[in-house]
Amino acid sequence: MHAAGSWPSVRVLAVGAHPDDVELGAGATLAKHAAAGSEVFILVLGTGALSRKGASAADVAELKGQCMESAAILGAQAHVLAFPDQQFDTVSLLEIIRMIEEVVMTTRPDVVYTHHAGDLNVDHRLTALAVRTACRPVGQRVPDLFAFEVPSSTEWGEPLRPSLFVDVTGEPLTKKMAALTCFAGEMRSLPHPRSPDAIAALARWRGATAGVETAEAFEVLREIR
């Protein structure tokens, strides 16, 4: 299994709607891929800031810098686009799909991770749809396609039904938590699900579900063997 078995050197693409989404959902798994020698790419579609009252272009630039810093910790390369925060539904879905298709053609991933289609956040849902469309089995083939969960969105929508668990015990989880510190303005305190304590607790729960110390959970959308 590319994502969790022998961990061969593969090409990996993770697509998130906003800065920190990929880190929250698959950060430890990406770090594990990178440690195994895989090329890891992160695509962030939206600005992640301008929907907030008082946000400015400087805030967008700061978040972009945080994406680059976080990706470096995980051993990944990040590319950040500028679709409008919390307003993906005002943009042509075809435009989003085409941007993702370009990155898929450039990076030629064996494994793609993206949002769960049932998330509460509209940008997450549209990203999930756009990625599944861009990765449909024509042209550049993507063998493995997995959906991740994002605390403070997935559990408030239609919860993920995990069918793949990645053991992230040790360094992978440590790198994920370090990467998330880059997004200080996005993190919250308990009892918010996007607090460091809650994120660590989720990793322990997913691990306990699968019989390991800590894990990240995914829904298998496609897996070709």
Residue 86: its H or E element: none
Asked if residue 168 lies in contact with residue 28, where contact means CB atoms within 8 angstroms, the answer is yes
Tens digit of pLDDT for each residue in 77-128?
A: 999 999 999 899 999 999 999 999 999 999 999 999 999 999 999 999 999 9
Distances (CA, A) of 24 to 37, 57, 85, 171: 22, 24, 17, 16
Asked if residue 13 lies in contact with residue 41, where contact means CB atoms within 8 angstroms, the answer is yes
In the Cβ-directed half-sphere of 170, how many Cα atoms lie within 13 Å?
A: 5
Per-residue confidence (pLDDT) for residue 50, from 0 to 100: 57
201: left (phi over 0), alpha (psi -120 to 50) or beta: alpha
125 contacts: CB under 8 Å, gap ≥ 6: 115, 117, 118, 119, 157
**Domain boundaries defined on the chain:** 11-223
Tens digit of pLDDT for each residue in 157-191?
A: 999 999 999 999 999 999 999 999 999 888 888 89
Tens digit of pLDDT for each residue in 39-52?
A: 999 999 998 765 56
How many C-beta atoms surround the C-beta of residue 107 within 10 A?
19
- CATH number (3.40.50.10320, 3.30.70.360, 3.40.30.10, 3.40.1350.10) of 11-223 reads 3.40.50.10320
184 contacts: CB under 8 Å, gap ≥ 6: none
What is the pTM assigned to this prediction?
0.94
